[in-house]
Each structure stands twice: as C-alpha cells, then as structure tokens.
Amino acid sequence: MADQKRKAKSAELKATVRTIVPTLSTRFSLWAFSFLVIVRVATANAADPAADRRTLPNGALLIVSEQHALPMVVVQMIIDAGARRDPHGQEGLAALTADLLTEGTKTRSATQISAAADFIGASLGSSADTDYASLSLTVLGKDLDTGLTLLTDILLHPSFPDAEVKRRREAALANMKANEDDPGNVAQRVFVHSLFGDEPYGHLAIGTPPTVPGLTRKDLVAFYERYYRPEHSIITVVGDVTAADIEQRLQNGLKDWSPANVPAFAYPSIGAPHPVTLTVQKPISQANIILGQRGVARDNPDYYALTIMNYVLGGGGFSSRLLDNIRTKAGLAYSVGSFFSVNKSPGSFQVVMQTKNESANDAIQRACDEIARIRTEPISDDELKEAKLYLTGSFPLRLDTNAKIAGFLAQVEFFNLGADYADTYAQRINAVTKEDVLRAAQQYLQPEQLELVVVANLEQAKIPTTAPCGRNPES
C-alpha cells in the first residue's frame, strides 16, 4: 500500500504516451530489469552505488549507501518470505502475511500505523513478490527516527488481528475480481499457471479465489514465525545517513529479531514441457497475447548472451525486431515486446502483445517468424553493437535516484551478483559474441515448446488449436 498516497489523476487517465513498457509480472524481466545493466560510473560526482556492507549480530545483512544530496532516506528490506514459499493449497499466504504487517502490531492499531506514517509524509509499505517479501520506508531525514520505529515495529511485532485478517482477505478477493477486468492480467495469470502448474511459480502472489478464503490468522502467524527471520534478510539504506549511525540504530531496533535456522529455499523438480494453447473469451476489441515458455534463473551463465539476444528480439523497444515488424511495419500493435522473467529459479520467457481481435493470428505468426529467425541466422554486427552500446551506456540511469539505488543494491545481494558487479557487468556484456547469441537462442528458445495464451473475443480472433509456431517458416 506504499502507493496509497499516489492518486489516480483525471489528467493521467486522459494523458497518453508514445509507448509503454508493460508491467507484466512482479518478477524481474530483462525488459524492465535493465537496471542490472552496469558500467562503471567514472564521474566524480556520480551517484556511486558503492556501499558499506556489514552483517548485523542476528545475521541480517545491512548495506548502506550514503547519498547526501537530499534530506531523505530510503530503506528497503528483503525477506525470504515470497510467494514461492506458499504451501500448495494456500496460494496467497505470503502476500496476505506481508499485507497484514501494516495492519496492527502489539502496540499500534492499523489506523495508528497509517496515521503516524501519514503525519510525517512517509511511505511505509510491505508486500510479497514471487521470490521475496519486502518492506519499504521513504522518509524525510528529520523524521528518520519515527519512520524506523514504525518500520521495525511492523517487522517485529505484527499482531495479525482477526478482524484485520478478515478485512485484507476480502480485499485480496475483491482485488482479484477487479483484476479480471484487465485482460493483460488475466493472460498473465493463465500463462504462469499453465507453464508452471502447481510449482512455486505457478500462481500470482495475490493467490487464487479458491485458496485465499481458507487463509486464517493461525496460518499467517505460522508463516510469519517461520520465515520472517534475519538470516536470509537484506536491508538496504540509501540517503542522508552515515553507515555507522544507521547500523547503531538498526542494531538497537532489531536486537530482538532472532534467527531460526530457516532452510534455504529449494525449487522442486521442474515438470516436463506440455505446450498448450489456452484461450479466454472476453467481449473486448483487442486480443491480449502471451507466447512463451520456460526461461532461466538469474545465475545462468548465459544470462548475458540472453540479455543481448532478447534486446535484439523484443527487449530493445524501437530497436527490437518484434516491435519493428509488428508495430512499425505492420501497425498491428501498440505494445509488443519480449522478456525473460529472471528469478532465483528458472522463470519464463514471454512475448507479450495486444492487437485487435482480427489480427491476432497475423501478429502471432510474425512473432513466431522472428523467434525462428533469431534461432537460424546470427544477428548482424550492427545489432550486436547497438545492443552493447545501450546496455552498457544506460547504466547511469539505473542509479539516478535513491529509490533505484536501494533496489539495485538489494538485488545485487539477493542474486549474489558480487560486490564487483558494477565493475564487471560491462565486460561481461561486451564479451558476448554473435555466436554466443545464436547458441543461446537455439538453446533457450524452443518453438515446439511455446505455449500460447490469448484473451480475446474468440469469435473474431479465431485462434486455431494447432501449435502456434509449429510450422517452420523456413521449410
């Protein structure tokens, strides 16, 4: 609820932009994830992500980046309590648990918490993503004490009152219902379940209508007690602080937070591919399409080759082949692109687009053609060069606010990218060859494994039951 303070503005409902980057998934995508694209910032006054890294006595990792340009502080905490930890049959438990942290502690009611945060104009929130839960605080420097008091209280002493659990459970169900009016969200929900089945990545964090009603206070307390522990937690603090001071404050504030030998998460064995075409009927004018398959984990050594491959295929906006083909040349879609949802465990690869019902099959065929092409011929020297220039050159934009620096540092740590990641990223990108890109495309894009989800007016879209990319256009 951190964005409760942000309002839907009538003007924004009317305003319209040239292109949008779809927010497709709560997971990281290469598309949206280019802030992991790094070159060394040599400028003396750069927003240097260089940070002080230390372990608190209870095992939590504290990373501090002093940024004194503004009298503000951003705190982000990552806890290994994401939706991947949801027990089968209790999908939505991690998200509901995270949601309840701000809804009452042993000494503060839900309303007291929000009123205290609002009184200092702070953003205080907690939520669960697929891989982890996060707590965040954005606060003016002069109110840091108050902000940290609230943050540590919701982390350490949530009380999960029955009435609040009931409220937020109903809210989750209502939100799921409202999300059904967003065909892109419907497509995403259907796609991840089709691709991952009952595996940990097979549901959206919010949960499902059958499982959320059964979640009780007891379930939430047990989940919280088990997983909200310091040993796998990462705390990043960015802003007008000193590392020594913030360490002292957090050591005091978190001294009662004790470890409990939480076992590291282990993703269960991955099921065999079962390519399907799934359609959902909606009386809408535009088909929402996802064409995809299983992808890779963040620690895959081919990550860098795949980053370039995807930039050329569909991640590079107007420089990408999918956008050039389907939007610029054919005028079939406003938004079209591809991404790897790069998680701790292997996520998905997705081509996502929207086009009027009648041109759905044309757009799908064009996507299939581009996937086939990038698997059969090397990308051009120019394409390789342009991808590298963008990926390395856009690094400073990934770290140009305190909020971005906090997110960046937390994720470098979560994905074990190494303290020298900022120094080595450009080398890794620049080391990729055309041959690497071709090999990665051939290895990770398997047209016979592609699943297709279409949410559309099916009488107009006429999606065939045959495999979407089954026919090799070369033959």
Partner 1 sequence: MQRVIRAALIAAALLAAPPLAPARAAQPYAERVREKTLPNGLKILLLEDHKAPVAVFQIWYRVGSRNEQVGKTGLSHMLEHLMFKGTHKVGPEEYSKIIQRNGGNDNAFTADDATTYFVQLASDRLQVVVDLESDRMQNLSFDDAQFEPEHKVVMEERRLRTGNNPVASLFEQVNATAYTAHPYHWPTIGWMEDIQQLTREDALAYYRTYYAPENAFIVCAGDFSADALLAEIDKSFAPVPLGDAPPAVRGIEPVQQGERRTVLRREAQLPFVAIAYHVPNLHSADGPALEVLSAILSGGKSARLYQQLVYEKRLARDAGSSFELTSLDPGLFFVYAQPFPGKSAAQIEKELLAQVERLQQTPVAAQELTKAKNGLEAGFILAQDSLFYQALLLGQYEVAGDWRLVDTYVPSIRAVTADDLMRVAAFYLTPSNRTIGTLDPLPGPPGRPAPPPMPPQGMVH
Q: Which of residues 366-385 bind partner 1 (CB under 8 A)?
A: none
Which of 223-231, 301-309, 328-336, 408-416 is the region at the interface with partner 1 (rule: CB under 8 A)? 328-336
Cβ–Cβ under 8 Å, residues 187 and 455 = yes
**Range 72-101, binding partner 1 (CB under 8 A):** 72, 74
The residue within the footprint of partner 1, chosen from 82, 92, 202, 275 (CB under 8 A), is 275
Q: Segment near partner 1 (CB under 8 A), from 52-60, 255-263, 391-399, 435-443?
A: 391-399
For residues 310 and 350, the answer to whether their CB atoms sit within 8 Å is no
Please list every residue from 11 through 30 that binds partner 1, using CB under 8 A.
11-19
Residue 3: burial class (beta carbons within 10 Å; 0-12, 13-18, 19+): exposed
Nearer to partner 1, 47 or 296 (CB): 47
Q: Check binding of 1 to partner 1 (CB under 8 A).
A: yes
**Position 444, amino acid:** Y
**Residue 190 sits in the site that holds partner 1 (CB under 8 A):** yes
- In sequence order, the 6+-apart residues with CB closer than 8 A to the CB of 181 are none
Q: Smallest gap, in angstroms, from Cβ of residue 412 to partner 1?
A: 18
- Among 182, 198, 299, 377, indicate the residue that binds partner 1 (CB under 8 A): 182
> Tokens 């890109």 sit at which residue?
437
**CA 187 – CA 22 distance, rounded (Å):** 13
Q: How far is the CB of 239 from partner 1 (least distance, A)?
A: 9
Q: Which positions from 288 through 327 interact with partner 1, judged by CB under 8 A? A: 288, 316-319, 324, 327
At residue 469, what is the residue type?
C
**Which of residues 185, 233, 345, 392 is near partner 1 by CB under 8 A?**
392
Structure tokens at 473: 């256009």
Q: What is the DSSP letter of 334?
A: S
Selected binder of partner 1 within 145, 162, 181, 362 (CB under 8 A): 181
**Nearest distance from residue 230's CB to partner 1, in Å?**
27
Count of residues engaged in binding partner 1, rule: CB under 8 A = 118
CB atoms within 10 A of CB 51: 22
By CB under 8 A, tell whether 401 contacts partner 1.
Answer: yes
Q: Does 243 bind partner 1 (CB under 8 A)?
A: no
Nearest-angstrom CA–CA distance, 110 and 131: 26
Quote the least distance from Cβ 5 to partner 1, whole Å.
5
CB of residue 382 to partner 1, shortest distance in Å: 10
Residue closer to partner 1, measured from CB, 271 or 331 = 331
**Residue type for 11, please?**
A
Smallest distance, partner 1 to C-beta of residue 265, A: 25
Contact between 253 and 73 under an 8 Å Cβ cutoff? The reply is: no
Q: Tell me how long the chain is.
A: 475
| Per-residue contact string for residues 27-66; x = within reach of partner 1 by CB under 8 A | --------------x-x-xxx------------------x
Output 61 or 187, the one with its CB closest to partner 1. 187
Euclidean distance between CA atoms 124 and 368, whole angstroms: 44
Tokens of 321: 């082949």
Structure tokens at 42: 């040599």
**Looking at the DSSP assignment, which residues form a beta bridge with residue 287?**
355
Q: Tell me the C-alpha distance between 407 and 399, whole Å.
A: 9
State how far the Cα of 124 lies from the Cα of 119, in Å rounded to an integer.
Answer: 12
Pairing type for strands 451-456 and 286-294 reads antiparallel
Q: Is residue 134 within 8 Å of 145, Cβ to Cβ?
A: no
393 binds partner 1 per the rule CB under 8 A:
yes
Nearest approach, Cβ of 152 to partner 1 (angstroms)? 19
Q: Which residues pair with 356 in a beta bridge?
A: 286
> With CB under 8 A as the contact rule, which of the stretches 5-13, 249-257, 302-310, 344-352 interacts with partner 1?
5-13
Output phi, psi for 104, to 5 deg.
135, 135
Footprint (CB under 8 A) of partner 1, residues 136-175: 138, 140, 167, 170-171, 173-175
435 binds partner 1 (CB under 8 A): no
Tokens of 33: 């994830």
Q: Is 356 an interacting residue with respect to partner 1 (CB under 8 A)?
A: yes
What gap in Å lies between CA 315 and CA 342, rounded to an integer? Answer: 13
x/- map, 105-124, partner 1, by CB under 8 A:
-----xx--xx-xxxxxxx-
